[in-house]
Amino acid sequence: MTTLKITQVKSGIGGKQYQRATLRSLGLRKIGQSVDRPDGPAVRGMIRTVAHLVKVEEID
């Protein structure tokens, strides 16, 4: 199974409340922080919600 490395590159301040909540549910709190999540439809949907705030890399 593929793993995704998700890095926050912009702040959630000034964004909509559901976007800030999505960042928190991904485990991101600070700019520059990275988390590894298994690839799946739920995680892909969360990434799509905050695509303008994060950078995504695939890890094997």
| 12-41 pLDDT per residue, tens | 999 999 999 999 999 999 999 999 999 999
- List of E strands, the chain: 3-8, 34-38, 54-59
Domain coordinates in residue numbering, the chain: 3-59
Packed helices 41-49 and 17-26: angle between N→C axes, nearest 10 degrees? 140
Per-residue confidence (pLDDT) for residue 28, from 0 to 100: 98
Q: Rounded to two decimals, what is the model's pTM?
A: 0.94
Per-residue confidence (pLDDT) for residue 56, from 0 to 100: 98
CB 38, CB 1: distance < 8 Å: yes
Note the pLDDT tens digit of each residue in 43-57. 999 999 999 999 999
Longest Cα pair distance anywhere in the chain, in angstroms?
35
All residues at 6 or more sequence positions from 1 whose CB lies less than 8 Å from its CB, including other chains: 38, 39
Q: Which CATH superfamily is domain 3-59 in?
A: Ribosomal protein L30/L7 (3.30.1390.20)
